[in-house]
Amino acid sequence: MGVVVVGAGIAGVACAVELAAAGVPVRLVDRAGAVGGRMGGRVVAGRPVDLGAAYFTVRDPGFAQVVRRWEAAGLARPWTSELAVLGDGGPDRAPGPQRWAAPGGLAALVADLAAGLPVERGREVRRVGPGPVVDGERADAVVLAMPDPQALRLLEPGHPVATRLAGRGWQPAIAVAAGWAQRQWPELPAAFVNGHPVLTTIADDGDRRGDRAPVLVAHTTADVARAHAADPEGAVAPVLDALRELLGVRAAPEWTLAHHWPHASPEGTRDELFHLTPDGIGLAGDGWGSPRVETAWRSGHMLGKELAERVRRDRAAG
Ligand SMILES: Cc1cc2nc3c(=O)[nH]c(=O)nc-3n(C[C@H](O)[C@H](O)[C@H](O)COP(=O)(O)OP(=O)(O)OC[C@H]3O[C@@H](n4cnc5c(N)ncnc54)[C@H](O)[C@@H]3O)c2cc1C
């Protein structure tokens, strides 16, 4: 039967990698047409633009190993350890950990990790019940590697794990990307925007990618994302106004696009890195730990290890 991993964001892929490495049959399914989840983006004029995570950080030694491999393959690059701070009390600079970026877009890193795994793209899973049973088919175990509200939609109401997931808030965001004929803003390379009604972060996409394309990506506050949930393009005008106010960008861009993330980040953190029920339903992702790329990888990786061990024990017991 094997394990079904639902969600091919970095958590689901990291989990499937561990299972496959332990010789456990695994199927990875995602409703989207590509892997990457919230590390996704879009190609504009032949060039990828990151619309989800702005960058990632690396602390865990296991994740550092993966990142070293990406770096050696030219897929990831150290970007910056200092961000600008705009808004309340700014401008200022915020030193911090090394931020990493990907010349080909962050989703390319997830695709690299998933290489060799059986991935079913464009398949939405609709129901996960005790057994576990995934859309009517028995599995040794199932992993839901996605934000809590998406996992809740799949679980039978009243399942103890559904009760555990309910009630936690997730914040939305809209990413607005815009491209100009030439750069017309101060060197950033990215900025936290504090106390602003429209924006939370701005990233110079050409700087992070290394090609210096005159492209900015800004993320809105949750309030703006809620107001424009049905029409994300409606967030473009207020975002351009905010870029004029914060960075002095006056010229109209040559192109813009907007993407709504309904569950961009969870409120608060959990101490548990993943959850695994006795009947083989696993939960992983950045809802476990803190809302970061690295945490999501670690959550999936650790759950994959635990599940592989459980399958091995069950087989040994006959
Ligand atoms: C705007 C924004 C900015 C961010 N900035 C940063 C940052 O700067 N640094 C950082 O470290 N992190 C950042 N993050 C967070 C980071 O992107 C996430 O922590 C990480 O990508 C989560 O990965 P995941 O695998 O847990 O979930 P996801 O990437 O959300 O993957 C879940 C997958 O499940 C799939 N799925 C859901 N339901 C179903 C279903 N029923 N059937 C099949 N498939 C399904 C989805 O299509 C998706 O691919 C940001 C996120 C957003 C949205």
CA of 30 to the centre of ligand 1 (A): 12
SS3 string, the chain, reads CCEEEECCCHHHHHHHHHHHHCCCCEEEEECCCCCCHHHCEEEECCEEEECCCCCECCCCHHHHHHHHHHHHCCCCEEEEEEEEEEECCCCEEEEEEEEEECCCCCHHHHHHHHCCCCEEECCCCCCEECCCEECCEECCEEEEECCHHHHHHHECCCCHHHHHHCCCCEEEEEEEEEECCCCCCCCCCEEEEECCCCEEEEEEHHHHHCCCCCEEEEEECHHHHHHCCCCHHHHHHHHHHHHHHHHCCCCCCCEEEEEEEEEEEECCCCCCCCEECCCCEEEECCCCCCCCHHHHHHHHHHHHHHHHHHHHHHHHCC
Q: What is the rounded average pLDDT of the residues 190-203?
A: 96
Per-residue CA distances from 138 to 46, 131, 133, 135, 155 (Å) = 42, 7, 4, 9, 15
User: Which residue among 17, 146, 205, 260 is best mutated to probe the pocket of ligand 1, counting the most ligand atoms within 8 A of its Cβ?
Assistant: 146
CA of 38 to the centre of ligand 1 (A): 3
Q: What is the pLDDT of residues 206-254, one digit of tens each?
A: 999 999 999 999 999 999 999 999 999 999 999 999 999 999 999 999 9
Q: What is the rounded average pLDDT of the residues 289-309?
A: 95
Minimum-distance ligand 1 atom for the alpha carbon of 264: 53
Q: What is the pLDDT of residues 31-64, one digit of tens each?
A: 999 999 999 999 998 999 999 999 999 999 999 9
CA of 237 to the centre of ligand 1 (A): 26
Give residue 188's pLDDT band: very low, low, confident or very high (50, 70, 90). Answer: confident
- Biggest alpha carbon distance in the chain? 70
Distance CA 42, CA 31 (A): 17
> Half-sphere exposure of 111 toward its Cβ, with a 13 Å CA cutoff?
14
pTM over 0.85: yes
CA of 186 to the centre of ligand 1 (A): 30
Whether the per-residue pLDDT at 189 is higher than 80: the answer is: yes
Cβ 264 vs Cβ 38: under 8 Å: yes
The percentage of residues in the chain with a pLDDT greater than 70, rounded to a whole number, is: 99
Cβ 59 vs Cβ 19: under 8 Å: no
Instruction: Give residue ranges with CB within 6 A of ligand 1.
Output: 6-12, 29-32, 37-39, 52-56, 124-125, 145-147, 150, 154, 173, 175, 219, 261, 264-265, 285-286, 291-293, 296
Domains of the chain plus CATH, in order, are 3-53+106-168+269-316 (3.50.50.60), 170-266 (3.90.660.10)
CA of 126 to the centre of ligand 1 (A): 19
Q: What is the pLDDT of residues 252-283, one digit of tens each?
A: 999 999 999 999 999 988 889 999 999 899 99
Q: What is the residue-averaged pLDDT of the chain?
A: 95
CA of 146 to the centre of ligand 1 (A): 7
Distance CA 147, CA 98 (A): 26
Is the peptide bond between 157 and the residue preceding it cis, with omega within 30 degrees of 0?
no
